[in-house]
């Protein structure tokens, strides 16, 4: 909840996968702080009903559409300890940044002990030459929320000159509009 609250107080909309657990906590923290809370949900055979702390929810059938939406509207990524879906989205973000398909957005991993084996694997990959040593600089791994928020301030807000402005127009192709209703975000 604290991460969602603090990211929201920086002026960002908190967008998660919209499900339970840490996603729900982040959405609740954003909403409790008076910020916007968005869920980009996925239809699965089990789990994942949208959590009750969402101002807006888009439900996707396919993971690739969900990832496009998550990346389309993001200026930074904060990952908390998670599972395979978290890893999929994290590595998608890192790949897009590394290959310069998206800007060099900040990527913050909260929970240093949890992420340590991944950091060790990435370090090994750099030693083996399968990634560049500079790729390790794409991540900030920390337990210090002040450090994480300062990193977002410098690497997103200051770097991109962010200020409040209108959101991009919703896309019917990405499922952001209700069928038959022009210009209305899907809720």
Tens-level pLDDT at each residue, the chain (187 residues): 999 999 999 999 999 999 999 999 999 999 999 999 999 998 888 767 899 999 999 999 999 999 999 998 899 999 999 999 999 999 999 999 999 999 999 999 999 999 999 999 999 999 999 999 999 999 999 999 999 999 999 999 999 888 765 556 666 666 665 444 333 343 2
pLDDT of residue 49: 84
- CB burial of residue 134 (10 Å; 0-12, 13-18, 19+): exposed
Q: For position 37, what pLDDT does the model report?
A: 96
Q: First-to-last CA distance in the chain? A: 23
pLDDT for residue 74: 92
Instruction: Spell out the residues 6+ positions from residue 140 whose beta carbon is closer than 8 angstroms to its own.
Output: 106, 107, 108, 109, 147, 148, 151
Q: What is the dihedral of CA 139, 145, 146, 147, to 10 degrees?
A: -20
Q: Are strands 139-142 and 56-60 parallel, antiparallel or unpaired?
A: unpaired
Predicted pLDDT at 164: 62
d(CA 7, CA 74): 12
According to the model, what pLDDT value does residue 167 have? 58
DSSP code string of the chain:
-HHHHHHHHTTPPEEE---STHHHHHHHHHHHTT--EEEEEE--SSS-PPPTT-SEEEEESSHHHHHHHHHHT-S-EEE-S--HHHHHHHHHHHHHHHTTSS----EEEE-HHHHHHHHHHHHHHHHHTSS-GGGGGGEEEES-HHHHHHHHIIIIIIHHT----PPPPP-TTTT-B-TT-TTPBP-
Q: Give the pLDDT score at 186.
A: 35
- What domains, with CATH codes, occur in the chain? 1-73 (3.40.50.450), 75-164 (3.40.50.450)
Q: Give the pLDDT score at 175.
A: 62
């Amino acid at each position: 909840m604290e991460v969602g609250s603090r990211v929201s107080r920086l002026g960002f909309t908190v967008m998660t996968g919209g499900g339970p657990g840490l996603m729900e906590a982040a959405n609740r923290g954003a909403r409790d702080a008076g910020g916007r809370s968005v869920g980009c949900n996925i239809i699965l055979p089990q789990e994942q009903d949208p959590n009750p702390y969402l101002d807006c929810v888009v439900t996707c059938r396919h993971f690739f559409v969900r990832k496009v939406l998550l990346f389309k509207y993001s200026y930074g990524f904060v990952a908390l300890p998670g599972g395979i879906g978290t890893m999929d989205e994290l590595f998608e973000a890192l790949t897009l940044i590394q290959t310069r398909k998206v800007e060099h957005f900040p990527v913050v991993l909260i929970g240093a002990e949890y992420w340590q084996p991944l950091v060790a694997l990435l370090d090994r990959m750099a030693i083996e030459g399968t990634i560049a040593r500079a790729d390790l600089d794409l991540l900030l791994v920390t337990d210090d929320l002040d450090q994480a928020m300062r990193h977002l301030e410098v690497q997103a807000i200051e770097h991109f000159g962010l200020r409040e402005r209108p959101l991009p127009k919703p896309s019917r192709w990405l499922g952001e509009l209700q069928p038959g209703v022009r210009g209305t975000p899907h809720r």
